[in-house]
């Protein structure tokens, strides 16, 4: 139940309407009814005190202004208005639908666009046909959602509860709609840590805030709340202000989020008229951030975002690959992740939108699953993206969150803090904070969410970040600790060529060129093989054999190299005691089956690493100096640069296994207890 000034159960009462119409409206379509009517009633309640003033202004100025003009906001006292005299409780019984659509059409464009996005006419037509629409309107009209009764925060809670319930009804992930408030508060706290100079400013400073997957605008709302809290503690003549920007793909969620900001602060009696008329939803756009960036080329001072985990980007693939082809002129120049997980595309989007230092710099918090820490081999898209972030020195801190704190998943999650304005003592450094134990149980589970992060724990995590503490749960290390060079290793081939006539047919099946040998030439080869039956030679003899066979053939024949490979693959026998194989030029030949790679820590001498980690176990191993770093970030040196971030490396705590005899004793006690119970039960 949502906490309000009364004990009225808004969520339960609103949702009861869905139960009442369930024979007409499918559960999968509840969102088309419940959410738009809740939003409509909230707008109606907000406009009620100035409704008569707006209607009078329409009478006086319609001929001059028309029915759509921002001038009406001066009379509504809000950033939106409605030019009709309708209310939900006076739409009439007979022509309810027409009156409702006229009512919706009378809103200012910014509010009307939200309501029409739900396509409620189709839903309401079914209700009208069944004679139920008027009753639905009257029921919603009975809810007092005025700012004086229900604050912005309370209304956000109501929306989120309705969305969560809606998500459960149609079996969609709630994480697609909302981020738990405790996670939001933590991310906001981390982003605004060390930002006292801006928050305390009294010169009318303005900063921008962007969320590329804004959902219901929970991140944005909480950031604005935090700024309001700072303003309350540090009142000034011209306090700092934040202008929000956001983009959301899913239409229903976008509509709720835009409404949240459209109605922002309408219940704040202390604000002036200008603030009340500011439309904070102006820059909240609908669209796919990856394929249709509504803020192309723009940068922001602050960013907060929780992109969907494991999101496929097949739908956006064409647009993303086209943008990636522009290199660093686009957002995805560092590389592309696997098609099944677009998390690292969102990371690049965030990084590309950090405001440059000359404009105050940029700082961002992004909530991610564990895979972006380590997925992808050296030289792969994900590894190169991390490398690019390291080299640009964008990663400031990564916080490991507790499990079971999200509504639809219990997996490990992390908050990445990106910044291009690190203090001097943290340049080139990354802080890791293990906050996985910082959680308290909920009184009642919410889906998979069994725990939350308390305010005290949020303060602890934030202080640890600000102070840079190294107390067993936090560490600050150079970014290069997460980098390595993946070198290719090889070992010389030790092989004898042992001629075995029973394998002759394998020669002709070895490869396409060998299979094209004519019947006449095959017969000649078979005779030659029989003449050498049982002979054992060193590897170099394969070149002699290839030359001899080439002379025997009268028709089209494979190349010398193809012959040598076929002979070695069919008649070759690996032998540790054999001499190291050499080709016909005396060059060493390497064993294709003994190719491997080694990840050498960044900056470590190759010779030192090999002497310690490899040569004691495989003394003939060599580094292939021809395998060099290549790609958009290449340095041309031997070894492909790889990246991987491991929390276990720093925070893993070994737990001594229990004594087996102790476990066996407990099992025996349980067995004896079961036997005793069964004997008593069967008496």
pLDDT in tens, 394-441: 999 999 999 999 877 778 899 999 999 999 999 999 999 999 999 999
* SS3 of residue 367 by DSSP: strand
Q: What share of the chain in percent tops pLDDT 90?
A: 63
Structure tokens at 369: 């699953």
Quickly state the pLDDT bin for 172 (edges 50, 70, 90). Answer: very low
pLDDT tens column, 11-22: 888 888 988 988
Q: What is the model's pLDDT at position 396? A: 97
Cα separation values, 296 from 217, 314, 344, 625, Å: 20, 21, 18, 42
Cβ neighbours of residue 399 under 8 Å, at least 6 residues apart? 186, 190, 414, 415, 417, 433, 435, 461, 465
pLDDT category at 462 given cuts 50, 70, 90 is very high
β 206-211/241-248 pair status? parallel
Structure confidence at residue 628 as a pLDDT band (50, 70, 90): very high
Cα 202 → chain centroid = 36
Task: Write down the pLDDT at residue 228.
Answer: 81
Residue 270 has pLDDT above 70, yes or no: no
The answer to whether 130 and 22 are in contact (CB under 8 A) is: no
Question: What integer is the mean pLDDT of 594-614?
Answer: 96
Per-residue pLDDT averaged across 572-591, rounded? 94
Terminal CA-to-CA distance of the chain, rounded, Å?
Answer: 50
Give the pLDDT score at 368: 94
Phi, then psi, of 501 in degrees rounded to 5: -65, -25
Half-sphere exposure of 8 (CA within 13 A, CB side): 14
Tokens (6 digits) for 189: 């706290």
Is beta strand 363-369 parallel, antiparallel or unpaired with respect to 429-434? Answer: unpaired
The backbone torsions φ and ψ at residue 446, rounded to the nearest 5 degrees and listed phi first, read -120, 90
3-state secondary structure 229-275: HHHHHCCCCCCCEEEEEEEECCHHHHHHHHHHHHCCCCCCCCCCHHH
**Picking from 229-243, 374-388, 389-403, 643-657, which range would have the lowest pLDDT averaged per residue?**
229-243
Distinct helix (H) and strand (E) counts, the chain: 26, 18
Q: Does residue 276 carry a pLDDT above 50?
A: yes
CA distance 439 to 409: 16
Q: Hey, is 207 helix, strand or coil?
A: strand
Sign of the torsion formed by the C-alpha atoms of 674, 675, 677 and 682:
positive
Cβ of 595: how many Cβ atoms within 10 Å? 12
| Residue 481: both structure tokens together | 């600790």
Cα–Cα distance measured from residue 12 to residue 465, given in angstroms and rounded to the nearest whole number: 40
In whole angstroms, give the CA distance from residue 589 to residue 583: 6
Is pLDDT at 673 greater than 50 in this prediction?
yes
Classified as helix, coil or strand, 511 is coil
Within 296-397, residue ranges assigned H as helices are 317-324, 343-352, 381-391
Neighbours of 533 (CB within 10 A): 11
- What pLDDT was estimated at residue 140? 94
What residues does 379 pair with on adjacent strands?
none
**The predicted structure's pLDDT at residue 166:** 64
Average pLDDT over residues 581-607: 95
pLDDT band at 173 (very low <50, low <70, confident <90, very high): very low
Distance CA 201, CA 204 (A): 7
C-alpha–C-alpha distance, residues 510 and 517, integer Å: 11
CA pair distance 307, 346, nearest whole angstrom? 7
Mean pLDDT across the chain: 88
> Phi and psi dihedrals of 583, rounded to 5?
-90, -170
Q: How many CB atoms lie within 10 A of CB 273?
A: 10
Give percent above pLDDT 70 in the chain: 92
- Max Cα–Cα distance, the chain, nearest Å: 114
DSSP 3-state assignment of 671? helix
Q: Residue 328 in 3-state DSSP?
A: helix
Per-residue pLDDT tens digits for 97-153:
999 999 999 999 999 988 888 888 888 998 999 999 999 999 999 999 888 888 766
Residue 548's SS3 state is helix
Mean pLDDT for 524-539 is 93
149: buried, middle or exposed (CB in 10 Å: 19+, 13-18, 0-12)? middle
* Eight-class DSSP state of 494: B
How far apart (Å, rounded) are the C-alpha atoms in residues 499 and 537? 9
Nearest to 364 by CA among 429, 293, 294, 305: 305
Q: Which residue has better confidence, 277 or 512?
A: 512
Asked if pLDDT for residue 171 goes beyond 50, the answer is: no
How remote is the C-alpha of 281 from its chain's centroid? Answer: 24
What digits encode the pLDDT tens for the residues 306-359?
A: 998 878 999 999 999 999 999 999 999 999 999 999 999 999 999 999 999 999
């Amino acid at each position: 139940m949502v906490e309000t000034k009364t004990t009225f159960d808004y969520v339960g009462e609103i949702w009861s309407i869905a139960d009442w119409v369930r024979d007409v409206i499918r559960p999968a379509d509840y969102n088309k009814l419940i959410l738009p009517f809740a939003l409509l009633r909230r707008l109606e309640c907000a406009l009620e005190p100035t409704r008569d003033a707006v209607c009078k202004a329409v009478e006086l100025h319609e001929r001059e202004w028309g029915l759509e003009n921002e001038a009406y906001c001066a009379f509504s006292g809000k950033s939106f208005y409605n030019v009709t005299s309708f209310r939900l409780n006076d739409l009439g019984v007979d022509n309810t639908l027409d009156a409702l659509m006229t009512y919706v059409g009378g809103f200012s464009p910014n509010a009307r666009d939200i309501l029409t996005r739900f396509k409620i006419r189709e839903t309401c037509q079914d209700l009208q046909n069944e004679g139920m629409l008027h009753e639905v309107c009257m029921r919603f009209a009975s809810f007092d959602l005025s700012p004086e009764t229900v604050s912005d925060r309370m209304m956000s809670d109501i929306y989120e509860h309705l969305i969560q319930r809606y998500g459960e009804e149609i079996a969609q992930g709630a994480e697609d709609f909302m981020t738990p408030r405790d996670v939001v508060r933590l991310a906001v706290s981390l982003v605004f840590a060390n930002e006292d100079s801006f928050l305390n400013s009294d010169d009318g400073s303005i900063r921008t805030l962007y969320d590329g997957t804004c959902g219901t605008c929970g991140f944005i709302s909480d950031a604005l709340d935090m700024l309001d809290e700072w303003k309350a503690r540090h009142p000034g003549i011209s306090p700092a202000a934040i202008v929000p920007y956001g983009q959301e793909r899913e239409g229903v969620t976008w509509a709720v989020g835009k409404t949240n900001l459209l109605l922002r602060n309408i219940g704040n009696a202390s604000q002036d008229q200008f603030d009340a008329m500011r439309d904070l939803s102006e820059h909240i756009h609908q669209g796919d951030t990856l394929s249709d960036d509504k803020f192309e080329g723009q940068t922001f001072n602050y960013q907060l975002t929780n992109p969907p985990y494991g999101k496929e980007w097949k739908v956006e693939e064409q647009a993303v690959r086209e943008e990636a082809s522009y290199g660093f002129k686009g957002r995805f120049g560092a590389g592309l992740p696997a098609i099944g997980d677009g998390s690292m595309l969102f990371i690049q989007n965030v990084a590309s939108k950090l405001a440059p230092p000359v404009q105050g710099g940029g700082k961002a918090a992004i909530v991610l699953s564990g895979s972006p820490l380590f997925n992808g081999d050296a030289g792969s898209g994900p590894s190169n993206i991390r490398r690019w972030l390291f080299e640009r020195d964008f990663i400031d801190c990564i916080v490991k969150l507790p499990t079971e704190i999200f509504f639809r998943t219990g997996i490990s999650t992390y908050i990445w803090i990106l910044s291009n304005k690190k203090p001097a003592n943290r340049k080139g450094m990354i802080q890791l904070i293990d906050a996985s134990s910082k959680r308290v149980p909920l009184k009642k589970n919410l889906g998979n969410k069994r725990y939350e992060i308390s305010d005290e724990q949020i303060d602890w995590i934030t202080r640890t970040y600000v102070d840079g503490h190294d107390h067993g749960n936090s560490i600050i290390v150079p970014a290069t600790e997460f980098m390595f060079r993946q070198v290719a290793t090889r070992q010389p081939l030790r092989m004898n060529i042992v001629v075995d006539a029973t394998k002759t047919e394998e020669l002709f099946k070895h490869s396409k060129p060998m299979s094209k040998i004519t019947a006449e030439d095959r017969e000649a080869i078979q005779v030659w093989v029989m003449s050498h039956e049982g002979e054992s030679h060193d590897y170099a003899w394969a070149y002699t054999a290839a030359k001899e066979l080439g002379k025997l053939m009268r028709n089209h024949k494979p190349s010398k190299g193809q012959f040598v490979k076929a002979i070695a693959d069919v008649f070759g026998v690996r032998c540790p005691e054999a001499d190291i194989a050499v080709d016909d030029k005396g060059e060493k030949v390497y064993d294709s089956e003994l190719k491997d790679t080694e990840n050498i820590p960044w900056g470590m001498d190759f010779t030192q690493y090999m002497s310690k980690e490899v040569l004691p176990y495989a003394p003939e191993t060599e580094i292939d100096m021809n395998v060099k770093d290549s790609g958009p970030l290449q340095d041309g040196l031997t070894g492909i640069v790889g990246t991987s971030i491991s929390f276990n490396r720093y925070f893993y705590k070994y737990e001594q296994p229990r004594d087996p005899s102790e476990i066996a004793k407990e099992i025996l006690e349980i067995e004896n207890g079961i036997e005793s119970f069964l004997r008593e039960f069967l008496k």
